[in-house]
Chain A
Amino acid sequence: MSIRRNLVSLIAGALPIMAALFLWYAVCALKLAPASLLPSPVTVFTRLIALAGDTNFLTQAGITLFRLFVGFAIAVVLGVSIGILAAGSRAVATLMQPVVRVLAPVPKIALYPAFVLVLGFDHSSKIALVVADALFPILLATYQGAAAVEPKLVWSARAAGASPAKCLFTIVLTAALPSILTGARIGLIIACIVVFLAEMITSTDGLGQMLVRAARNFQTVDMFEPIITITLLGLLLNAAFNVLSARLLVGFAEQP
């Protein structure tokens, strides 16, 4: 019953994706659009496979991944510690809340020119943008999750002899893990997107710059490759994150 339903929904879900790909193929095959504007999916995916062995392409992807991971890691460390501290201390929460209220809806991309001016065109300005963008979902999720932790869980640990600080960084942190991971996954995808955009804006290197260079040279096929690559990376990271979450969250109730 459930297997059949899963199979049916799998087919239903594959339909629109297949249809879009087929439409793309048909438009090209029927020459409704010039190949210089819309290359056929066959060309695009053959080229992608060829690129998978291309050193330059892999180097550029590596640069993008490096910035993505460093920025994301910093955002996780900052977001989780500030969020947990704010949940544990009223003073920190009072300080943090108005600042976050003002900064969270600010388009961080607008800060990018400032990052470039201060940190230069290299890694650090892009990493700074990733941190600024990924930080808030993680921080807010951590704070909300930690603030919603059942106090009796903390009391049980306190009565057993754990100090308040120890409770905060063991019990509260772990109990808030489902929420933290939700925020971190959102932050990860945002980091993925933002690092690419930053590379497009100051096109020095990385996958984003490959897209801009291809656009300048009107190499339409090469414009598709970085976009598809970063999307696949996002999907892959998302899937990996889900596997990691499932491992970390044994014992917790199923997440919706």
Chain B
Amino acid sequence: MARVNAIPGLSALIACVALLLIWDGLSRAFAVSGLPPPWGPLRELPNLLTEPETLVNILASLRRMAIGFVVAIAFAVPIGLMMGRSRAVAAFFNPLFMVIYPVPKAALMPLIMLWIGIGDMAKVLVIFLGVSLPVVYHSFQGARSVEEKMLWSAAAMGLSASQRLRRIVLPAALPEIMVGCRTGVVLALITMVTSEMIARQSGVGNIFFTALDMGQYDTVYAMIIIIGALGFFCDVGFEAVRRVLVAWAEPSHQIAVGSA
């Protein structure tokens, strides 16, 4: 175990190989055309990723995802921090967010498309909605658990309320915020794929069903691998960023909260 962990990513690689072998075993066991062995989709990957149309679709999806994610962070972090530091703000927002929490955000896609059309805006808006709540939640938890005494001494030094929020609460809550961002980035991907599957206009989600309708099962499974890999690498990337930014802290809330 120790030696496996010594090389970063080796255990994940072994896990991937193991999963592929399990997949291969399952496809032999089921023996249906809907579940081909993994080797065909793997061979399909390079074709898919060099095909300009697919690439454009994927990149467009990623762009929408990035915009929705960044806007959500810019909106959710301040709200979460204020909720964490002020009982009144928390009392004001908490029930609202509690009601919104179980709403399937991607399911709003048809309504939003009805209102603002089928363009990028609708998709970005849905991603924004999907990402915001967990980031608010984690920022809230982070700000709430900031040492009271740190703030007292800051106030004694003459920092104003907004200065305290920016200079004390934000850095102290950063570890938790980063956990929220890490959850958020995976959620952005989930919301993106889901909403595109529902809207079936363009993008990654649409490629799935075009391939499905045409019976190109290898393409379907290749897309699953691509999206799975995207999810994994987004997560690993954010974990790496988190480690660099807040090497001093261990996150307290590790279970991802929320869904598309």
Contact = CB atoms under 8 A, between A and B. Distances in A.
Interface of A: 8-9, 12-17, 20, 37-38, 94, 97-99, 101-114, 116-118, 133, 136-137, 140-141, 144, 182-183, 186, 189-190, 192-194, 196-197, 200-201, 208, 211-212, 215, 218, 220, 223-224, 226-227, 230-231, 233-235, 238
Contact of A37 (B115, B186, B189, B258): B115
B114 A220 contact: yes
A107 B189 contact: yes
> Closest 7 interchain pairs by CB?
A234-B102, A117-B34, A13-B95, A9-B91, A105-B235, A98-B15, A215-B110
B220 interface: yes
B107 A197 contact: yes
Interface of B: 1, 11-12, 14-16, 18-19, 30, 32, 34-35, 87-88, 91-96, 98-99, 101-104, 106-108, 110-111, 114-115, 186, 189-190, 193-194, 197-198, 208-209, 212, 217, 220-221, 223-224, 227-228, 230-232, 234-235, 254-260
Nearest to A134: B259
B198 A99 contact: no
A137 to B, nearest CB: 5
Contacts of A224: 111
Given A98-B15, A193-B102, A215-B110, 18 more contacts: A13-B93, A13-B95, A37-B114, A94-B1, A110-B193, A110-B231, A113-B220, A114-B221, A117-B34, A118-B34, A137-B256, A186-B256, A192-B104, A194-B104, A197-B194, A197-B198, A220-B111, A231-B99
Identify which of B94, B107, B234 gathers the most chain A CB atoms within 10 Å of its CB: B107
A237 to B, nearest CB: 8
Contacts of A133: 259
A99 B14 CA distance: 9
25 contacts: A12-B92, A13-B96, A16-B92, A17-B95, A38-B115, A98-B15, A99-B19, A106-B227, A109-B190, A109-B197, A117-B212, A118-B34, A137-B256, A189-B102, A192-B102, A193-B102, A193-B103, A193-B260, A197-B107, A197-B198, A200-B107, A208-B107, A220-B114, A226-B107, A235-B102
Given A114-B224, A196-B107, A231 B102 contact: yes
A109 B255 contact: no
Q: Interface majority SS on A: helix, strand, loop or mixed?
A: helix
A40 to B, nearest CB: 15
A116 B212 CA distance: 10
Contacts of B108: 227
A230 B18 contact: no
Identify which of A117, A211, A230 gathers the most chain B CB atoms within 10 Å of its CB: A117
A132 to B, nearest CB: 12
Contact of B102 (A15, A201, A238): A238
B35 A235 contact: no
A122 to B, nearest CB: 14
Contacts of A38: 115
A186 B255 contact: yes
A102 B107 contact: no
A99 B223 CA distance: 20
Contacts of B106: 197, 200
Contacts of A109: 190, 193-194, 197, 260
Contact of B220 (A98, A107, A114, A197): A114
A230 B93 contact: no
B93 A16 contact: yes
Contacts of A114: 34-35, 220-221, 224
A194 to B, nearest CB: 6
A99 B232 CA distance: 11
A104 B228 CA distance: 10
Contact of A113 (B12, B107, B224, B256): B224
Contacts of B190: 107-109
Contacts of A15: 92
